[in-house]
Amino acid sequence: MVILTLNCGSSSAKYQVYDWVNKDILAVGVVERIGLEYSTIEHKANGKEEYHAEFSSPTHKEAIELIIRMLLDDEYGVISDLKEIGAVGHRVLHGGEVFKQSALVTDEVIEQLKKVIHLGPLHMPANIMGIEAARKAMPSVPQAIILDTAWHQTMPEEAFMYAVPYEWYTDYNVRRYGFHGTSHLYCAKRAAVLLGKKNEDTNVIICHIGNGASISAVKNGVCIDTSMGLTPLEGLIMGSRSGDIDPAIIPYMMETTGMSAKEMDTVLNKKSGLIGLCGKSDRRDVLKASKEGDKKAALAIKMETRRITKYIGGYATLFGGNLDAIIFTAGVGEMAPHIRLGACQGLEAIGAKLDEHKNKVCFSRNGEFEINTDDSKVKILVIPTDEELVMTEDAYALMTGTYDVHTNFHYTFEDKDYVNKSRELALQKDIAKDPELATILVKQR
């Protein structure tokens, strides 16, 4: 039996096929440019050549249909019949106040998701369209939603409420929700294993740094605060999102330039952050430009890392001196030593000392690494995230009736003997190229 996971973004659809029995990834892929003049698909299956093609995909319906055809294809596919798919897990951006945990999809669930589209207008329509397309293509297969916001539901009121009229919360659901929940959940559970602690005894700060970025404070194994808010716009400086700004800037610029609310939303979400500062969002391009003397790029790096440091320092005060580790994850967190270096400047004040050499050689997305100095009170870890595995396990558990909220549920990656087969093979190749990687691998305690 296999589990299919789908992550439908505003103009893309990522997917993964997981062999539940053998605990191995069979195929991964992504459809991009959905809704544009042409769309593309990139499909990778174990033991087979990669497949790339252009096709027409006006909506997510056509994208899902092509994904299914690829999975069944004689040359590139990994299954012979749709009956081999035991469940489908869908990543959903926003659960609002309605969904506190993953759930099986029903007509009623879809109607409830439609009621919170206004909380995530860029992503929710695509999420829902992907679910509806998959249900139509595979009507007899159980489908599940896995919410980005679910992990953060343990935050106390003083963390998730805003200092605005209270009726905004009761009447319009204005509150902090938080996102990247599956990533934060995975890293929190893995951190407990690596630290040799029970989940309920683990205190960590997780920095999910990618094009989108957020930080989660995890005390006694659950989220107590996070940097993103009502939407994914708040918090850190991101690839194209502004993160925290003075709210008065918004009406000031609208009145000054005549921008509409929709235009302002577009600027803050798609034309700000690193793109707004230096015209580039890929951290590799920003770093290259900085080294070549681009002052705006150099400023962008300093601003991004300073913001991360401020959040880490602020969250550290929530642990009463009992912080176990700071974790970096996601594409940038895992693969950008210069961002980690900048973000860790001054953290000696909270007992976290970065080993600059370990940090520099930590350039692999396949292993779990410890990059702090030997005498650092607080560990600094790099943990490759695995959001798809969280989605896969939730979907399987919902299908079998064994699922529960994450505080009561045990994931396979919480086991000490857990191994990601694909990553382990890739890690050995990385170590062969750079033996120093082996010296900073975290040994499970």
Is 33 labelled a binding residue?
Answer: no
According to the annotation, is 324 in a ligand binding site?
no
Of the candidates 188, 181, 149, 222, the one whose C-alpha atom is nearest the C-alpha of residue 327 is 188
Consult the annotation and say whether 387 binds a ligand: yes
Q: Does the annotation list 423 as a binding residue?
A: no
| Residue 52 among known ligand-binding residues | no
208 is in an annotated binding site: yes
211 labeled binding residue: yes
96: left (phi over 0), alpha (psi -120 to 50) or beta: left
Q: 420: annotated binding-site residue?
A: no
Identify the residue whose tokens are 């319009």: 172
CA distance 13 to 130: 8
| DSSP of 80-147 | S-GGGEEEEEEEES--TTT-SS-EE--HHHHHHHHTTGGGSTTTHHHHHHHHHHHHHHSTTS-EEEEE
The structure tokens listed for 86 are 């035991």
Question: Per the annotation, does 24 bind a ligand?
Answer: no
Q: Residue 147 burial by CB count (10 A; 0-12/13-18/19+): exposed, middle or buried?
A: buried
Query: Of all residues in the chain, what percent are helix, strand and coil, respectively (each to 5)?
Result: 45, 20, 40
Does the active-site annotation cover 148? Answer: yes
Could you give the 3-state DSSP secondary structure of residue 22? coil
Q: Which residue has the tokens 């210069």?
A: 338
Q: Under 8 Å CB-to-CB from 324, ≥6 apart: which residues?
A: 191, 195, 197, 202, 203, 204, 378, 379
The verdict on whether residue 43 carries a ligand-binding annotation is: no
Beta bridge mates, 54 = 40
Which residue of the set 19, 107, 148, 430 is catalytic? 148
CA distances from 57 to 11, 86, 152 (A): 10, 26, 34
**7 is annotated as contributing to ligand binding:** yes
Q: Are residues 333 and 208 in contact, defined by beta-carbon separation less than 8 angstroms?
A: yes
Q: Is 284 annotated as a binding residue?
A: yes
Task: Detail the residues annotated as belonging to a binding site for Mg(2+).
Answer: 7, 387
Annotated binding-site ranges: 7, 14, 91, 208-212, 282-284, 387
Residues that constitute the known binding site for substrate: 91
Residues tagged in the binding site annotation for ATP: 14, 208-212, 282-284
Catalytic amino acids? Answer: 148
